[in-house]
Structure 1
Amino acid sequence: MTDLERKIYRIIYNMSRFRKNPTMDDLKRKTGKDEAAIRTAVNNLVSRKELTWDKDKKEWSFK
């Protein structure tokens, strides 16, 4: 896991503990990266099954 992936994972995890899904603007502000880099990192986390999106509950699940 790269530093950016780890940072995004922690942001999503910590925000979801309070039942709030981070927006793209939240992730941009907290990481200082652009949208393309964030999307790539999230897709990498999802492909490695570190993160999964539950469509019914509309929330993230963690490994």
Structure 2
Amino acid sequence: MTDLERKIYRIIYNMSRFRNNPTMDDLKRKTGKNEASIRKAVNNLVSRRELTWDKEKKEWQFK
């Protein structure tokens, strides 16, 4: 897991546990990265099954 992937994973985990799911603007502000790099990192996490999206509950599921 790269540093950016780890950072995004922690942000999503913490925000979804204590608040709501983070928006793209939240992730951009907290990581300082652009949308393309954030999407790539999230897709990498999903492809490795570190994160999964539960469509029924509309929330992230963690490994």
Structure 1: any 5+ residue segments left out of the alignment? none
* Structure 1 residue ranges, 4+ long, deviating more than 4 angstroms after superposition: none
Identity %: 89
The TM-score, its normalising length taken from structure 1, stands at 0.98
Pairwise mapping of residues 1-63 of structure 1 onto structure 2 (< 5 A)?
1-63=1-63
Q: Whole-Å Cα distance in 1 between the matches of residues 43 and 2 of structure 2?
A: 13
Q: CA RMSD in A?
A: 0.6
Aligned length: 63
TM-score, L = length of structure 2: 0.98
Unaligned runs of 5+ in 2: none
